Amino acid sequence: MAPPLRAERVPAPPLAVLLELTHRCPLSCPYCSNPLQLVGLRDELATADWLRVLGEAAELGVLQVHFSGGEPTLRKDLPELLQHARSLGLYCNLITSGVGVERERLLALQQAGLDHLQLSIQDSEERGADRIAGYAGSHRRKLALARWCGELGLPLTLNAVVHRHNAERVAAMIELALDLGAGRLEVAHTQYYGWGLKNRAALMPTRAQLDAVTAVVEDARLRLRGTLTIDYVTPDYYARRPKACMGGWAQRFVNITPEGKVLPCHAAETIAELHFDSVRERGLGEIWRESDAFQRYRGTDWMPEPCRGCERREIDWGGCRCQALALSGRADTLDPVCDRSPDHAAVRELAERESQAPAPEFVYRKIRPAGNRAP
């Protein structure tokens, strides 16, 4: 066990915990950021484990719990988990594909304690959306779920992942969010982790597409201020400065996998040299405060130059460690999207090259039954 931290180095509690209840999912999205090796049903945490984790999260000082996956509604114990989280005073958010959730199920989740729902959309048009999701009929089901949220008075956020196949329809997706009564829309360019990295050449937008999307979003933000909140996540590969990934490594968020591993960010397991403790073996608070994996890149002490002397060191916290590994081969170096990185020019060239080349076919995560396969 690691020695106790000095009082002045004890980290503040995380704002939120993301519970990946399962990796099972009806969709096959080519940009999925879940790991290539998924956790199977038999290895998922049991209900009692998740209930204990929720208690430990509340004791740690967490304010929000996000139920995610895969598709979290595939867990039959979701109402019980929501009810327990609500009893602990935690704000409950559900991140869902919307496929397979009927109105009665949604009402039961709301009555159990659900405060907010985040629904992913793949496109504004049914054919394109179903093709991206790899599931025929998924778009219609999503629209129905969104309208039920409105009927039940359940706050709704739409998450739209943008790439070269749907960038021209961002304006239509904004109008769709308005039509569905969403209070918030996240327009997020694809982040290349997991299956998304495998499909990067098929998904990378051109610079012209990026500029057009940015203009549409900026115009809509002004025009719809007070009506629809629009969050915008730009593509890292075209950036000059990195983003603060998850608000900084082990700074604000904690992620728990279906089998119970506790991660500082969704893709952290790609850093093979790190050992991630499990809630099966250690308490969540102890892991947050003392785990070597959490302390490794927390704060600024780990930073090399020029990060250490940069005026943005406590703004972007050095960028993304997983992205640094994927693009430079090292997790402990500058995020290559930063123009101070020696690898920055190569990243920009990669983006230009892949976006200008003909897009290869999607590599879907899994082959769906013929009846559900999208055109």
Q: Tokens standing for 189?
A: 């360019």
With vertex at residue 28, the alpha carbon angle to CA 26 and CA 29, rounded to the nearest 5 degrees, is: 125
> Exposure pattern of 181-210 as b/e (b: 16+ CB <10 Å)?
ebebbbbbbbbbbbbbbbbbbbbbbbeebb
Tell me whether residue 25 is annotated as binding: yes
Contacts of 95 (CB under 8 A, 6+ apart): 66, 67, 68, 69, 72, 118, 120, 159
**Three-class SS state of 119:** strand
Closest listed residue to residue 249, CA positions, set 168, 331, 336, 310 = 331
Edge-to-edge order in the sheet of strand 184-189: 229-233, 184-189, 156-162, 116-121, 91-96, 64-68, 16-20, 253-256, 262-263
In this structure, how many other beta carbons lie within 10 angstroms of the beta carbon of residue 122? 30
Tell me whether residue 322 is annotated as binding: no
Contacts of 131 (CB under 8 A, 6+ apart): 374, 375
Known binding positions for [4Fe-4S] cluster: 25, 29, 32
Task: List, as residue ranges, the binding site.
Answer: 25, 29, 32
